Each structure stands twice: as structure tokens, then as C-alpha cells.
């Protein structure tokens, strides 16, 4: 199989080359805010520079406990043993697809890496359209039909990938769409992979009030939902490469955990120890970082609404962006 550079990374490199040539560019490709690293995170990373041991494959106990607390504060009680850390959510997603096997249903449109990784592990992704304003979550009825049809053709379909909030549309699927998605997944015995890396970047309006509530599929199908997140978006730390998975505390989750740790042990051994120490602090959500994310959320909202307005005035139909 010929593997080309990811479209989002390729456009980022092309834009950087244009900048080196002195060309003014408007970057609309890669999901990177370009915001500075908060000083407390620099300090925490520096303080951890003596940590040079490999450490546990699943990640340090401190990091897994902090990540469990992060999800618990969002109404998703989590056991630290059901958390796995890795060098970014991207390799975690790949290892998950590798462990699950079979084909995967994916929302259309969606982040380019879902389908690309699916093909890399030998799958044939099943692209299922989303409804306007419900980006990131395949239309449940269409998902049911597509998976049923694929299975009738002899294909094995084991999972569906959703993004809440969505990349690239910046919308958040409403509660009924997520609830119905969970029902279909349970009916068809599909694992739900929920990428929630933009969860903390729900925009606020001019009055400073969050406009949209994010509902995770884990609220409605807790026994079969895996959640991925990281610090690349809310704290703009993409280059630090740290991500975490929340596995369901169920037979499915415990089975996945063993397989994922086996895959991780052969690919990355363990996440970078100094970054884990800094991430452990970040996931406890101290006041200074909560304030930092809040300012970032406001800035993202202002920029997203302004860009959407430009396209709307040009005659394009644009769903109102409310996150990411």
C-alpha cells in the first residue's frame, strides 16, 4: 500500500514553504491554534526533565488518575485503570483500530486521519453522511442501513467513529442524535470510538455564556464507548504529543485494554515521561489553566464566527460553528 503524507500535515508544510517565500497566506488547513504555551506548563515540563525511565506502558499512575478526574468532572466516572496514555491521540486511535479489527463506519465529512488509518490497518471505511448542524455523528438511520448492507455483503463491521464536538464543521451533535447513535450501536453491537479532543473548546457568546452542551455517547452507551482526548487543542500543545483513552468499565473495555497494552508495548513502549508529568498537572485543571482555556475558547469563538460570516456573505451555506 502506498501511504502519502496526511492531507492536513501536507497543507501545513505547503503553507510554511509559502511563508518562507514571503507569500502571505491564510491558514485554513491544519488544526493548530498557534497560541503560546502557558508558563506553568513550561515549568512543569522543565521540572520533569529528570524523568528518563520508560515507565508503565499504560502511562504513569499520576497521569491516569488525573485523566480519570478530568472525565469524572464531566459526569463520566472513570477508574484510573481504564485509562491508557500514549504519544498523542492519533497513535492511540490507530492502535485501537488495529486491536478492534473489521471495518469501521466513519462520519462524512470528518478528519482525514480516521479513514486513512482505517485503510492502513487493512479496513475498508464505511463513510456515512452527517446531518446539517450535526457534524461528527453519522445519521443514525443511515448508519444502521450502511452497516446492515455491508454485513449482508459478508463484511465484518465492528466500530463507528464519532467526533464530539466536530472537526471540521465546528458543530456539536444534539442530545437526540447522540442518543439515537448509541441505540443503533447497541442494536448492531458496534464499538463507539468518540473523539472528544475539542470538548473544552465550546464557544461562548458575547455575554460569556456557553451556547451548547456536549453530550458524549458514553452517557447513553457506557459499556461500549471509548473516548479519546489530549492537550493538543484546549492547551495548544500539539507538539508535545500526549493523548489519553478512556475505556469502558465493562467486559468489552477490559478485553480491549489487554490488547491495546500489547500493541502499545510494541510501538511506543510508554509516553515521554517529562510530558506525562506536565500532563498530569494539566488534567487536574488548576485555576490558571482553566482561565487559560476559557480565554482560548473565547478567542476561537470570535475567529470562527468571523470566518463563517465571511463565507456566508460570499453566498456559501455554513452551519453555525459553536465549538473547536
Nearest of 138, 122, 121 to residue 130 by alpha carbon: 138
In whole angstroms, give the CA distance from residue 22 to residue 38: 29
User: Is 33 part of any domain?
Assistant: no
Rg of the chain in Å (alpha carbons): 19
Residue 110 lies in a domain: yes
Q: Looking only at Cα atoms, what is the longest distance across the chain?
A: 56
In the chain, alpha helices (H): 7-20, 39-47, 61-72, 89-100, 112-120, 140-152, 175-188, 251-267, 273-282, 287-313
What pLDDT is recorded for position 204?
A: 81
Distance CA 235, CA 227 (A): 18
Range of the domain at 239: 40-287
Per-residue pLDDT of the chain (324 residues; tens, 9 = 90+): 666 777 777 888 888 899 899 999 877 766 677 899 999 999 999 999 999 999 999 999 999 999 999 999 999 999 999 999 999 999 999 999 999 999 999 999 999 999 999 999 999 999 999 999 999 999 999 999 999 999 999 999 999 999 999 998 999 999 999 999 999 999 999 999 999 999 999 998 766 666 789 999 999 999 999 999 999 999 999 999 999 999 999 999 999 999 999 999 999 999 999 999 999 999 999 999 999 999 999 999 998 999 899 999 999 998 889 998
Residue 315 counted as domain residue: no
- φ/ψ of residue 30, rounded to 5: -85, 140
**Confidence (pLDDT) at 10:** 84
Among 119, 117, 137, residue whose Cα is nearest residue 128: 137
Q: What pLDDT, on the 0 to 100 scale, is given for residue 26?
A: 77
Beta-strand pair 126-129/225-230? unpaired
Among 164, 160, 118, smallest CA distance to 143 is for: 160
> CA neighbours within 13 Å on the CB side: how many for 143?
32
Q: How far apart are the C-alpha atoms of 165 and 136, rounded to whole Å?
A: 7
| pLDDT at residue 209, as a whole number | 66
Q: How far apart are CA 246 and CA 79, in angstroms?
A: 9
Residue 22 lies in a domain: no
Q: Does a structural domain hold residue 57?
A: yes
Asked whether residue 302 is domain-assigned, the answer is no
Report helix angle 112-120 to 7-20, nearest 10.
120
- Residue 271, domain CATH: 3.40.640.10
Could you give the angle at the alpha carbon of 110 between the alpha carbons of 93 and 298, nearest 5°?
95
28 within domain boundaries: no
The pLDDT assigned to 25 comes to: 85
Task: Say if 311 falls within a structural domain.
Answer: no
The cell for 24 is 502571505
Relative orientation angle of helices 175-188 and 140-152, to the nearest 10 degrees: 20
How far apart CA 95 and CA 93 sit, in angstroms, is: 5
User: How many separate domains does the chain show?
Assistant: 1
The bridge status of strand 191-195 relative to strand 225-230 is parallel
Exposed e or buried b per residue across 42-62, where buried means at least 16 C-beta atoms within 10 angstroms of its C-beta: eebbeebeeeeeebbbbbbeb
8 A C-beta contact, residue 321 and residue 167: no
Amino acid at each position: 500500500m502506498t501511504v502519502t503524507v496526511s492531507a492536513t500535515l501536507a497543507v501545513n508544510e505547503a503553507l510554511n514553504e509559502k511563508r518562507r517565500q514571503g507569500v502571505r497566506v491564510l491558514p485554513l488547513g491544519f488544526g493548530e491554534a498557534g497560541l503560546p504555551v502557558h508558563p506553568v506548563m513550561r515549568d512543569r515540563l522543565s521540572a520533569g526533565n529528570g524523568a528518563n525511565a520508560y515507565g508503565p506502558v499504560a502511562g504513569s499512575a499520576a497521569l491516569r488518575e488525573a485523566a480519570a478526574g478530568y472525565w469524572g468532572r464531566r459526569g463520566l466516572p472513570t477508574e484510573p485503570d481504564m485509562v491508557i496514555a500514549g504519544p498523542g491521540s492519533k497513535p492511540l486511535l490507530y492502535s485501537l483500530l488495529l486491536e478492534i479489527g473489521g471495518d469501521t463506519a466513519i462520519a462524512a465529512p470528518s478528519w482525514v486521519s480516521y479513514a486513512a488509518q482505517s485503510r492502513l490497518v487493512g479496513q475498508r471505511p464505511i463513510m456515512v453522511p452527517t446531518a446539517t448542524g450535526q457534524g461528527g455523528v453519522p445519521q443514525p438511520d443511515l448508519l444502521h442501513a450502511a452497516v446492515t448492507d455491508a454485513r449482508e455483503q459478508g463484511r465484518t463491521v465492528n466500530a463507528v467513529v464519532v467526533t464530539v464536538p466536530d472537526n471540521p464543521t465546528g458543530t456539536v451533535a444534539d442530545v437526540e442524535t447522540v442518543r439515537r447513535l448509541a441505540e443503533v450501536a447497541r442494536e448492531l453491537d458496534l464499538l463507539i470510538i468518540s473523539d472528544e479532543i475539542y470538548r473544552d473548546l465550546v464557544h461562548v457568546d458575547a455575554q460569556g455564556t456557553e451556547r451548547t452542551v456536549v453530550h458524549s455517547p458514553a452517557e447513553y452507551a457506557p459499556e461500549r464507548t471509548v473516548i479519546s482526548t489530549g492537550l493538543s487543542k484546549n492547551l495548544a500543545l500539539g507538539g508535545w504529543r500526549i493523548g489519553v483513552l478512556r475505556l469502558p468499565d465493562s467486559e468489552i473495555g477490559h478485553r480491549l485494554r489487554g490488547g491495546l497494552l500489547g500493541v502499545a508495548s510494541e510501538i511506543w513502549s510508554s509516553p515521554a515521561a517529562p510530558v506525562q508529568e506536565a500532563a498530569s498537572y494539566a488534567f487536574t485543571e488548576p485555576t490558571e489553566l482553566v482561565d487559560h482555556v476559557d480565554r482560548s475558547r473565547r478567542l476561537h469563538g470570535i475567529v470562527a464566527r468571523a470566518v463563517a460570516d465571511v463565507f456566508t456573505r460570499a453566498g456559501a451555506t455554513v452551519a453555525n460553528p459553536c465549538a473547536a
